[in-house]
Every structure is written in structure tokens, then in C-alpha cells.
Amino acid sequence: MFDLLINYWPKYLDGAVMTLQLTFFSVVIAALLSLPLAMVRQAGARIYQWPIRLYVSFFRGTPLLAQLFLVYYGSGQFRPELAELGLWWFFRDPFYCALLTFSLNSTAYQIEILRGGLQAVPYGEVEAGIAIGMPRSLLYRKIILPHCYRIALPALGNEIILLLKGGAIASVITLMDLMGQTRRVFSQTFDITAYFWAALFYLAITTVFVLFWRMLETRLSRHIHFNLTDMPAKTTATTARKMKESTHVC
């Protein structure tokens, strides 16, 4: 059981690095794309909302595997045209195809998550911002987006984990990620522990990520979990009094 790990750990490591790279870049690209789209979807004109709705519905309503095949194999049907445009190098490479598909897929999910977040920002906060004369960009930057991301953070974490796991299907288009390396190791050894180790690696990655994300959540909502015992003893009394007064005012 352990000799398999001793013999093949560099393979697993390569695969894990590939999986992490793929997930990281997909998530970052999707995060950049989804924010403006979510803002349009939430507050834009009807004609701009419809294409986004269609896009989100399509990518959420079809299997990731089918999307991946559509991009990777489907592009082969237009090979002469793509070569003429100078894009064939992109669609020929399984990594780029997986990256494109996962980014597009994750964008769809993140749009929905961010839209939920934008909707959940209390309107009073926005009104207060408008009342003191904030321009729209400042309003978004200082009030809406920080609150929106705090609300959306747990759901975004779930989405990233789903993408990390969904990324395993990139092995079907011959990409050597963690799953791809595992399949190769299994086909060479016919040892079922190959999958067992892969399972442990995936669990380890998700666990570390969950812990990291929970830290991020606590950090971003530290004003909510504000705890008097965390304060230095000297200031506690005065702060407590001030807080009491401020709640009376409300």
C-alpha cells in the first residue's frame, strides 16, 4: 500500500500541481468576468439581462463533461477556420480548453452567487450612501461590493470546491491532473490503492481550502463577531459603555 506511494509520489505531486493551477486560474478568470456580468444582471436594462440569463441557464443546465467535449473536440470541426484566425494553438491544447470551459462554467455559477449577494445588501445602506452624495462608483466600491462579497463568501467557497472536484473530468481529455495521473498509475499497477491515495490527496486539498476559507470569512466579518474579551483590559470598560450608549441612540 505504501510502496505505491513511495514509487509514484512525484506523479501525484505533478498532478496535484496541475489540478491546483487549473482550479486557481479558472476561479480567478471567472471572478473577474462574473462581477460586471452580475452587476448588469442585477441592475442593467432588460435587453442586457436576457443574454446573461441564457448563458447562466445553459452552463448550469448541461454537464461539465459535455461542455468540455464541446470546446475540446467540437473546435476540431472548425479547424481550418480557427487555424486561419491563428487560434488553433489554443484549442489544440487540452489545458487551455479545460481552462476555457471551467472558466466559462464557473462564471455562470459565480454570477448567480454574486447576484444573490448584491440582492441581499440592505437597501438602507445604499440609500445612506446616496444621501451623503456618493457617486455610483464610490457607492459600489465602498458600500455595495464589500457587503456583497461578505454575504457571497461561503457560497463562493462551495463553488471553488465544486470546481476543484469537477476538474477531475479534465483527465478525460488527456490532461494529466491529479485524476489523470491517478488513472495512469492504476493502469500501470492495477492496484486499487492508487485511487485510495488520490482520494486522500483530494480530501487533504479540500480540507486545507475549507480551513483557509473559514479564516477568510472570520476575518472579513470580524466586526460582527466582535468580542469584548479580545480587547485589551484597559479599553474594555469605556468601549462597552460607548457601545451601550450607541445602542440606546438607535
Q: Does the footprint of other proteins cover residue 166 (CB under 8 A)?
A: yes
Q: Does the footprint of other proteins cover residue 122 (CB under 8 A)?
A: no
Q: Which is nearer to other proteins, 78 or 96 (CB)?
A: 78
Indicate the angle between helix axes 145-166 and 2-43, nearest 10 degrees.
140
* Shortest distance in whole angstroms from residue 169 CB to other proteins: 6
Indicate the angle between helix axes 178-189 and 193-220, nearest 10 degrees.
160
Residues 6+ apart with CB under 8 A from 20: 205
C-alpha dist (Å) from residue 131 to 39, 92, 119, 138, 202: 21, 54, 20, 13, 49
Q: Does the footprint of other proteins cover residue 61 (CB under 8 A)?
A: yes
- Pick the stretch among 36-44, 54-62, 135-143, 221-229 that binds other proteins (CB under 8 A): 54-62
Q: Does the footprint of other proteins cover residue 92 (CB under 8 A)?
A: no
One-character DSSP codes across 45-110: -HHHHHHHHHHHHHHHHS-HHHHHHHHHTGGGGGHHHHHHHT-HHHHH-HHHHHHHHHHHHHHHHH
* Shortest distance in whole angstroms from residue 241 CB to other proteins: 37
Query: Under DSSP, is residue 177 helix (H, G, I), strand (E, B) or coil?
Result: coil
**Among residues 36, 76, 135, 154, which is the contact residue for other proteins, using CB under 8 A?**
76
Amino acid letter for position 131: A
Q: Does the footprint of other proteins cover residue 99 (CB under 8 A)?
A: no
Q: Does the footprint of other proteins cover residue 87 (CB under 8 A)?
A: no
* Shortest distance in whole angstroms from residue 57 CB to other proteins: 7
Q: Does the footprint of other proteins cover residue 199 (CB under 8 A)?
A: yes
Q: Are 41 and 143 in contact (CB under 8 A)?
A: no
Q: Does the footprint of other proteins cover residue 206 (CB under 8 A)?
A: yes
- Pick the stretch among 45-53, 69-77, 211-219, 229-237 that binds other proteins (CB under 8 A): 69-77
Sign of CA dihedral 233, 234, 237, 239: negative
E-strand spans in 152-238?
none
Q: Which is nearer to other proteins, 117 or 167 (CB)?
A: 167
Q: Does the footprint of other proteins cover residue 20 (CB under 8 A)?
A: no
Q: Does the footprint of other proteins cover residue 171 (CB under 8 A)?
A: yes
Question: Beta-carbon neighbour count of residue 222 at 10 Å?
Answer: 11
**Among residues 17, 203, 215, 243, which is the contact residue for other proteins, using CB under 8 A?**
203
CA 187 to chain centroid: 32
Q: Which is nearer to other proteins, 17 or 240 (CB)?
A: 17
Rule CB under 8 A: which residues touch other proteins?
Answer: 57-58, 60-67, 69-70, 73-78, 161, 165-169, 171-172, 179, 182-183, 186, 190, 192, 195-196, 198-199, 202-203, 206-207
